Amino acid sequence: HLLLSFSWGILFSHPRDFTPVCTTELGRAAKLAPEFQKRNVKMIALSIDSVQDHLSWCKVGTLLGLAVTCMAGITSCKGEGGAEGRAGPAGQLDKHLLPSPDPAPRAQVFVFGPDKKLKLSILYPATTGRNFDEILRVVDSLQLTAYKKVATPVDWKPGDSVMVVPTLADEEAKQLFPKGVFTKDLPSGKKYLRYTPQP
């Protein structure tokens, strides 16, 4: 809570340090740090390994030309019960992580709002790299909903038209969205698909 203050936050869980997929993700997150900062989002990574391993991993990233220093918030969560003791009940273990034969936590993304409430979580197998373009798109969508009372339709991209949330009455929508509100014609004749240019 102290770290987030009044910011949005993203917590990335990593199965282990020095895994190839996670190393590419750290680099991508570091390169996109300015984009997250523009959106008032703070990032932190979580791994089950020791702090010593985290520091060594950052050095590897530096050798690869990855600016991982901004991801220095990697924290160890391994307790007496090991990875399974912490991650097992949450269904976060992945038996396919290489090279370890032991199950390791899956890669997960948690997005928190300034109210410290979870807004979204995405679970990836440890063998599949996260899509950071999608994570940024999701943050944009969540922030539009939080600040502008709109939702985003399927395959929405920033700049596309958005949808007026169902809880907003037509008259209020007209006042809030001066660029206009238009509805999509449906066979049922119902007018619940209300669109407006992205505010």
Contact 34, 67 (CB under 8 A): no
Hey, which CATH number is domain 8-74+104-131, 3.90.25.10, 3.30.930.10, 3.40.30.10, 3.40.50.720? 3.40.30.10
pLDDT tens, position by position, for the chain (199 residues)? 888 899 999 988 877 677 778 778 888 888 898 999 999 999 887 777 677 776 776 666 554 444 444 343 434 333 333 433 334 334 444 444 444 444 555 788 999 999 999 999 999 887 888 999 999 999 999 999 999 999 999 999 999 999 999 999 999 999 999 999 999 988 998 888 999 999 9
Architecture of 150-197 per CATH?
2-Layer Sandwich (3.30)
**Domain extent listing, the chain:** 8-74+104-131, 150-197
Nearest-CA neighbor of 56 among 26, 11, 80, 98?
A: 26
Catalytic residues: 22
Q: Are 191 and 182 spatial neighbours (Cβ–Cβ below 8 Å)? A: no
